Structure 1
Amino acid sequence: MPRDPFRAAITTAVARVRRHYRPATTSTLAPTPHPYAHALGLIAVVVFGAWLGLLVVGSVRTPVGPMDTTMTLRPSLTGGTKINVAPLGALELRSHIAPVRLDVDVDRLDPVRSEALVQHPERLSGLQEEVGSDISTGTRDLAVRSCVAVVSGATALGLAVYRRPRRALAAGGLALALLAASGVSAYATWNPKSVLEPKFSGLLSSAPSVVGDARSIVTEFDVYQRELARLVTNVTKLYDATSTLPVYRPDPATLRVLHVSDIHLNPVAWQVIGSLVRQYDIDVIIDSGDTMDHGSAVENGFLDPVRDLGVPYVWVRGNHDSRLTQTYLTRFGNVHVLDDGRAVDVGGLRVAGIGDPQFTPDRSVPAQGAAAERLAGMRLASALRAQEQAGTPVDIAVTHEPDAARETDGTVPLVLAGHVHHRQNELMPFGTRLKVEGSTGGGGLRALQSRKPEPVRASVLYLDRATRRLQAWDEITLGGLGLTTAEVSRHLPEENTPKESPSPTTPTTSP
């Protein structure tokens, strides 16, 4: 007898419902998720929900002096503060270490307020108080808005994922706790003098006047709000210039030295060096070697642009530079070749150096390694001590290899080197500061063999004309082959960083 299809369907449905409500036995239980999986899932919901909340509603519009800005908290692994000044570029400050970064976007310059400042410079004296008040107000509003944003975002996402109000509220509470912990971390690591070492990108990297001269850095940079007011003033004037950036007016009490190294036959380096000489009003160029690749006579014509740079050029031989290279450079009137501890007075400085004892392209001579470099450094140190005893102390020593440079510790205030194609900055045990420059030629033609372009690097050193001691330096980093990025970062030696705030004075302005 054929089975009734309708009755069979009913029977099957009832059986399924009974199985669903039947108490589960041990054999039919589904695998219980590990507690860690629950925790990781909750953390993911909290972090993602908080991020969505900040993204959607976690920003505030607030005036800062003559500018209208938008302040936002963003998740970050390194923290810090980023000030976006469209279309001029951005400034990055290592202001704190926390999993959140403060982004400040300059939306526009209020024409009424900015014109009042430009037309009446005397009003700048009260700008620091106004900016400090604006920043405090904006920060408080941002803190409240961020709390609401992270709690709302995490709670909403928790409700959508878990569909349980208790679990959703737990996600919101955990998000608030995470934000509070981030705030405590930011407060504990807050660095008010981070503005002493800003990193510039975009068109701002072409405007050294934004950070002022070396003397003002040492005497006037004290607290964060004061310098933020100074920064706002400079940005105001940058906007007012519109089509041209302000001209950098060098401080007559400051010597400017351009440190380059490891050009390696890259002709672009001469254009970069020439531009930096003009832009920064450089007094002296110091090249710590490896200008060539093979040191052959046929390469010597590459050096001819040195004669047209318009400033003294101090050079030491690198391990890719031959004696032929050295002899060719001695023909140029503006070039000072240093070797065997020779010292010269140039641009108000006394500089001594020694060439690299090894010429590595010559494979017929076995490499002597670091021992030969250290021996050369010892010879230079001996020459420096002799200069000191003769009453003509050297201000800057130059080698190519850092191992040789380290042997001069205690005999000179500053020693420059290259060779390693990346920057190093080290205050050695006996007081000598070692500065190693990267490749101003972006690694030269050999960079074509690398997967990623090597940046073009150079540094501008600011030295006091009276004491001839290092006051500050700017590190210039340009994108390598095929890249068009530019960064300038300002640095101060620890011994020149202000330890306490000076007495209040009327702030000065620079173009």
Structure 2
Amino acid sequence: MAREERFMSRRKYIPALSVIVGALACVGLFSQASYEVAAFVIGLDARIGGAGLTRFVLPPVGSISASTHPLPIQLTVTLQNIDLAVLRTVVFSTPEVLQAVIDTADEWAARILMAYLARLVALGALGAMVGVWLAGVKQLRGLTLAGLTGALLIALIVGLVYATFDQSAFTNPEYHGIIEAAPWMFELVQESLERVEELGQQIQTVAGNLYAVFANLENVGQISLGRVDLLVLHISDIHNNPVAYDFVRQVIGSFPVNFVIDTGDLTDWGTELEAEITTRIRQLNVPYVFATGNHDSPDVVARLRETPNVVLVDEEVQDIMGLRLAGIGDPAAKRYSPEPAGLDELYSIAQAINEHWGRAEDRPDVFIVHNHRVAQQIHPGLFGAVLCGHSHSLEITEREGTVYINAGTTGAAGIRGFQSRNPLPYSLALLHYARSEEGRLTLVAVDGVHVSGLGSGFSLQRTFTEVGRINRIDVETQL
């Protein structure tokens, strides 16, 4: 009798226990949900058990977590998808539209959070009702009471998490996966953005002083060029650096540049978002001849094809304002990896160029490639000039009638250049052509320009070709 009484006494607690277990189990099993925010799909999840923490998951690079609350509940926010087309539209829209999106970010976050909390409370109510139903409670009144109790239980837990949530825990987070490099990355980006603004202001002064130096050069008889019929700007390895196009635009505005030749590596990873930098090319309003580099990709090439003033080089001879051009893109640009081609493949490319054009009767004036190793293997005498980049080092040499020009890095190696204690200079080359008596354009001189990043000056080296009277002068100025 006593045993039956104890059993009956304990049995009355079964409905209450069923409410708690059912509510928590339902939330734990079905709390995961996805929400669209502009260009992003965000996944939210709440798991009961373990240390109380909040985790941000960024596939495939890893996760960031911190102990933000004492209750044994793990909150997870996962970036599930990015619509690059929408993101590109938002990021590169007008400043007014972009600011409007930023201003509504808090409103979006509040709506998503309220919707998710309502989902958790509803799951708590449903789980509690299922729990007591399985425990034998079939009456509507009992099920309704259980549902309300489950909802209140989850609401109480949510309130406790909110009340004890410590955002400052993310000042000392834990990193897992590739993103363990995040502290360095964040510091790099912050310093880079600060330097971009400073550089953008200084580049105007640099271009103005550079123009003054050129004007003085033309007044000195020994190094004057005389008549120039075509001026070509050779740039390379911009690597997403916006300051590079500020500089290029200033040079085009200050000098009678007829067109630009870019020997590749416009971006770093070749993503659709990076390819938006092609809008800066459109704004230059001059023909823009481009040979792909290993950091470019099919997505970048597709955007370049859509840009009206871009001419993509190929092995067919093309005539741009009387100058005959041909070239070949980097084989890595056909893939989605910036890993450069191996030495054997590069050597094979150079050999194919030598064999093909060695047999050809109709050769271009200029041959364009990205990798300097290919350029160095091209036989002298095949072309009047061979243009390249990749090595980030400005170099101008002449061998047996062929001028080899490496423009270095017009983007100062991109974001990596901002971070370096000894940053690479911004570099480019200006090719001066004069028309012969037969009417053919001939390269007579090349100006190599180094511009220090946040330093105090630039250097200009004018190299005359054999046709332009063998003469080499170095001119330097300090701002």
User: What TM-score do you get using the length of structure 1 for normalisation?
Assistant: 0.47
Distance in 1, matches of 2:414 and 2:207, equals 24
Match for residue 291 of structure 1? Answer: 266
Structure 1 counterpart of 2:350, one-letter code: G
Choose 1 or 2 for highest CA Rg. 2
Corresponding residue SS for 1:294: coil
Distance in 2, matches of 1:493 and 1:366, equals 35
Corresponding residue SS for 2:289: strand
Match for residue 337 of structure 1? Answer: 312
Relative to 1, partners in 2 of residues 1:337 and 1:487: Cα closer, same or farther, differing over 3 Å? same
Match for residue 205 of structure 1? Answer: 210
Match for residue 385 of structure 2? Answer: 414
Query: Which gives a bigger RCO, structure 1 or 2 (Cα 8 Å, sep 6+)?
Result: 1
Do the aligned residues in 1 keep the contact of 2:275 with 2:300 (CA within 8 Å)? yes
Match for residue 493 of structure 1? Answer: 465
Do the aligned residues in 1 keep the contact of 2:207 with 2:247 (CA within 8 Å)? no
Distance in 1, matches of 2:382 and 2:358, equals 6
Match for residue 444 of structure 1? Answer: 414
Do the aligned residues in 2 keep the contact of 1:353 with 1:380 (CA within 8 Å)? no
Structure 1 counterpart of 2:413, one-letter code: G
Distance in 2, matches of 1:446 and 1:204, equals 27
Write out per-residue CA displacement over residues 304-355 of structure 1, whole angstroms, 9 at most, x where no aligned residue. 111121211000000101122112101122111013x132111220110101
Match for residue 305 of structure 1? Answer: 280
Distance in 2, matches of 1:450 and 1:327, equals 32
Do the aligned residues in 2 keep the contact of 1:447 with 1:453 (CA within 8 Å)? yes
Match for residue 443 of structure 2? Answer: 470
Corresponding residue SS for 1:490: strand
Is 1:374 the equivalent of 2:367? no
Distance in 1, matches of 2:296 and 2:456, equals 29
Distance in 2, matches of 1:479 and 1:328, equals 31
Corresponding residue SS for 1:411: coil
Relative to 1, partners in 2 of residues 1:471 and 1:440: Cα closer, same or farther, differing over 3 Å? same
CA drift of 1:369 comes to 1.2
CA drift of 1:490 comes to 2.1
Structure 1 counterpart of 2:408, one-letter code: G
Is 1:321 the equivalent of 2:296? yes
Match for residue 425 of structure 1? Answer: 396
Q: Which runs of 5+ in 1 are unaligned?
A: 1-200, 222-226, 231-249, 500-511
Do the aligned residues in 1 keep the contact of 2:443 with 2:467 (CA within 8 Å)? no
Which residues in structure 2 correspond to 1:73-88 (within 5 Å)?
none
CA drift of 1:297 comes to 1.2
More displaced stretch, 445-454 vs 275-284 = 445-454
CA drift of 1:212 comes to 1.7
Relative to 1, partners in 2 of residues 1:384 and 1:323: Cα closer, same or farther, differing over 3 Å? farther
Do the aligned residues in 1 keep the contact of 2:396 with 2:448 (CA within 8 Å)? no
Relative to 1, partners in 2 of residues 1:352 and 1:360: Cα closer, same or farther, differing over 3 Å? closer
Distance in 2, matches of 1:335 and 1:297, equals 17
Match for residue 332 of structure 2? Answer: 358
Relative to 1, partners in 2 of residues 1:347 and 1:382: Cα closer, same or farther, differing over 3 Å? farther
Distance in 1, matches of 2:259 and 2:283, equals 14
Is 1:403 the equivalent of 2:373? yes
Match for residue 384 of structure 1? Answer: 357
Do the aligned residues in 2 keep the contact of 1:202 with 1:487 (CA within 8 Å)? no
Structure 2 counterpart of 1:488, one-letter code: L
Structure 1 counterpart of 2:449, one-letter code: I
Do the aligned residues in 1 keep the contact of 2:270 with 2:336 (CA within 8 Å)? no
Distance in 1, matches of 2:207 and 2:227, equals 28
Distance in 2, matches of 1:320 and 1:288, equals 11
Structure with greater strand percent:
2
Structure 2 counterpart of 1:295, one-letter code: G
Do the aligned residues in 1 keep the contact of 2:207 with 2:251 (CA within 8 Å)? no
> Of the candidates 226, 230, 236, which is equivalent to residue 255 of structure 1?
230
Distance in 2, matches of 1:366 and 1:360, equals 11
Structure 1 counterpart of 2:357, one-letter code: L
Corresponding residue SS for 1:295: coil
Structure 2 counterpart of 1:355, one-letter code: G
Distance in 1, matches of 2:304 and 2:339, equals 26
CA drift of 1:375 comes to 1.8
Distance in 2, matches of 1:448 and 1:202, equals 20
Q: Which runs of 5+ in 2 are unaligned?
A: 1-205, 472-479
Match for residue 394 of structure 1? Answer: 364
> Of the candidates 410, 421, 424, which is equivalent to residue 454 of structure 1?
424
Relative to 1, partners in 2 of residues 1:452 and 1:360: Cα closer, same or farther, differing over 3 Å? farther
Corresponding residue SS for 2:375: helix
Do the aligned residues in 1 keep the contact of 2:267 with 2:274 (CA within 8 Å)? yes
Relative to 1, partners in 2 of residues 1:452 and 1:376: Cα closer, same or farther, differing over 3 Å? same
Corresponding residue SS for 1:257: strand
CA drift of 1:431 comes to 3.3
Relative to 1, partners in 2 of residues 1:359 and 1:447: Cα closer, same or farther, differing over 3 Å? same
State the identity as a percent: 29
Write out per-residue CA displacement over residues 475-500 of structure 1, whole angstroms, 9 at most, x where no aligned residue. 222121x335233332212453368x
Write out per-residue CA displacement over residues 184-226 of structure 1, whole angstroms, 9 at most, x where no aligned residue. xxxxxxxxxxxxxxxxx9965322221129xxx8xx52xxxxx
Distance in 1, matches of 2:280 and 2:311, equals 15
Distance in 2, matches of 1:204 and 1:449, equals 26
Relative to 1, partners in 2 of residues 1:448 and 1:351: Cα closer, same or farther, differing over 3 Å? same
Relative to 1, partners in 2 of residues 1:302 and 1:490: Cα closer, same or farther, differing over 3 Å? same
Distance in 2, matches of 1:396 and 1:270, equals 24
CA drift of 1:464 comes to 1.4
Relative to 1, partners in 2 of residues 1:202 and 1:281: Cα closer, same or farther, differing over 3 Å? closer
Aligned-CA RMSD value: 2.8
Distance in 2, matches of 1:202 and 1:404, equals 32
User: What TM-score do you get using the length of structure 2 for normalisation?
Assistant: 0.50
The total of aligned residue pairs comes to 261
CA drift of 1:368 comes to 4.2
Structure 2 counterpart of 1:489, one-letter code: Q
Distance in 1, matches of 2:443 and 2:266, equals 25
Corresponding residue SS for 2:273: helix
Structure 2 counterpart of 1:277, one-letter code: I
